[in-house]
Amino acid sequence: MDKIISILSNIRPEFDFTTSKDFISDGFIDSFDLVTFVAALDKEFGIKIKGTEIVPENFCNLKAIAALLKKHGAEV
């Protein structure tokens, strides 16, 4: 989980991602940040997140992101 938080904080250092329950509606990440975040996750975890999976519900909080990564066999 620390790795996910680290990647998110690298993209938007001004926010505390451990406190938000919905990164999208809280305005922590916009659609461009999401693209940057997905590219970073692909690289850091050695996975390929599908284009159809890049939807807000898979990235709204740490739990959702961890679930997506686990689906791709990543150790979170």
Footprint on this chain of other proteins (rule: CB under 8 A)? 11-12, 30-33, 35-36, 39, 48, 50-52, 54-55
Give the number of other CB atoms < 10 A from CB of residue 55: 11
**Least Cβ distance, residue 66 to other proteins (angstroms):** 21
d(CA 19, CA 40): 22
When the beta carbons of 36 and 61 are compared against other proteins, the nearer one is 36
When the beta carbons of 43 and 70 are compared against other proteins, the nearer one is 43
The angle, 0 to 180 degrees and rounded to 10, between the axes of the packed helices 2-11 and 31-45 is: 140
**Least Cβ distance, residue 50 to other proteins (angstroms):** 6
